[in-house]
Amino acid sequence: MMLKHRTYAEVKGGDSSRMAEQVNAQQARVAERLAGVKACVAVMSGKGGVGKSLTTAAIAAACAARGLAIGLLDADLVGPSAARMSGVSSTGLEVDESGVDPATSPAGVRVMSMDLLLDDDAPLAWREPESESFVWRGAQERSALREFLSDVRWGDLDLLLVDLPPGTQRLIDLAELLPRLDGLLVITIPSAASQSAVSRSMRLAADRGIRVLGVLENMAGYACADCGEVRSLFPGDAGRRLADQHDTTLLGRIPFDPDAAGHADMGALDQIMDHTVAGAAIDEVVGKLLKAIA
């Protein structure tokens, strides 16, 4: 015999698991925390190894040098590098019940990254049994990203830059978590492979109504350390092609600069910005980027 009883909707009392309530509260905390952030821009590439994280850190430093209040959130939880790239070495983040202070880079950028929290060279690992971890790893990473947004005392910012890992999942997470994503900066190298990898992600962004602010082409030639002359390094012109294809702007072409790479290894971004060909090119990009956001 079938038991007769009321259904979920007919039982009028509150949901005792209060899951929806908790999810809503999480979302509200993100919005509240970012209320003082004027613009939020994500930085994306199609593949790794295109110098995205260093470029993002350099852009953040260049913005700070212009007197802007800048935050840099490293959404690459598995391969974090924003703190190292920004020259942040100290940890011991201040924390109380209201939140965690971000680290501050020598350039004055407020930085939050998993590389501030993990032991040197320790991979990101979660407490659970590894066997079924694929099931919830995505959810955990999304939750960690949410905590980086809502639990860090970002304060008032002119711009929060979010350094995304390769692939599109984190971009989707970010767009869902943020009350407003103001735009996307795309970084590529000249090669066709890089172009096609990031083109897919740009289409996805467009489908979701995310504005692409522009494309930046990295390793666009080789800047001679002696004479500063730029010579060809990779064949291709992915930056120009992507900009045309997706109806956006080519914000700049940054030459590979051995000097800059050397400084980057030492976390000396100020040296890059003040004394290298790449630094000057990045500063030009920043000018255009800020105009695109405004």
Which residue in the set 31, 68, 104, 147 belongs to the binding site for another protein (CB under 8 A)? 147
Annotate 107-140 with b (16+ C-beta within 10 A) or e (fewer).
bebbbbbbbbbeeeeeebeeeeeeeeeeeeeeee
Q: Report if residue 31 touches another protein, rule: CB under 8 A.
A: no
Q: Looking only at residues 258 through 277 of this chain, which bind another protein when binding is defined by CB under 8 A? A: none
Residue 73's DSSP bridge partners are 112, 162
Nearest to 194 by CA among 230, 223, 237: 237
Site pattern 64..93 for another protein (x: CB under 8 A): ---------------------------xxx
The encoded tokens of residue 109 equal: 């950028």
Name the amino acid, one letter, at 145: L
Q: How many CB atoms lie within 10 A of CB 22?
A: 10
Which residue in the set 35, 36, 128, 179 belongs to the binding site for another protein (CB under 8 A)? 128
Q: Rank residues 93 and 233 by Cβ distance to another protein and give the closer one.
A: 93
Q: Residue 209: left if φ>0, alpha if ψ -120 to 50, beta else—which one?
A: left
Q: CB of residue 126 vs another protein: minimum separation in angstroms? A: 5
The gap from C-alpha 251 to its chain's centroid, in whole angstroms, comes to 18
Which residue in the set 99, 106, 167, 262 belongs to the binding site for another protein (CB under 8 A)? 99
Which residue in the set 1, 2, 67, 129 belongs to the binding site for another protein (CB under 8 A)? 129
Q: Report if residue 18 touches another protein, rule: CB under 8 A.
A: yes
Q: Which residues in 16-88 belong to E strands, given as ranges?
A: 40-44, 70-74
Q: Report if residue 21 touches another protein, rule: CB under 8 A.
A: yes
Which segment (10-18, 193-201, 265-273, 280-288) binds another protein by CB under 8 A?
10-18
**Contact 233/221 with Cβ under 8 angstroms?**
yes
Phi, psi angles (nearest 5°) of residue 230: -100, 120
Q: Report if residue 151 touches another protein, rule: CB under 8 A.
A: yes
Which residue in the set 122, 176, 179, 192 belongs to the binding site for another protein (CB under 8 A)? 122
The gap from C-alpha 129 to its chain's centroid, in whole angstroms, comes to 29
Q: Report if residue 1 touches another protein, rule: CB under 8 A.
A: no
Q: Report if residue 3 touches another protein, rule: CB under 8 A.
A: yes
Q: CB of residue 96 vs another protein: minimum separation in angstroms? A: 7
Q: Rank residues 22 and 232 by Cβ distance to another protein and give the closer one.
A: 22
230: part of which helix (H) or strand (E)? strand 230-231
Q: Rank residues 139 and 192 by Cβ distance to another protein and give the closer one.
A: 139
Query: What does the DSSP 8-state code read for residue 37?
Result: B
- Going by DSSP bridges, is the β-strand pair 212-223/95-96 parallel, antiparallel, or unpaired? unpaired
Which residue in the set 1, 98, 207, 209 belongs to the binding site for another protein (CB under 8 A)? 98
Interface with another protein by CB under 8 A: which residues?
3, 5-6, 8, 11, 13, 15-19, 21-23, 26, 91-100, 116-119, 122-129, 132, 135-136, 139-140, 143-144, 146-148, 151-152
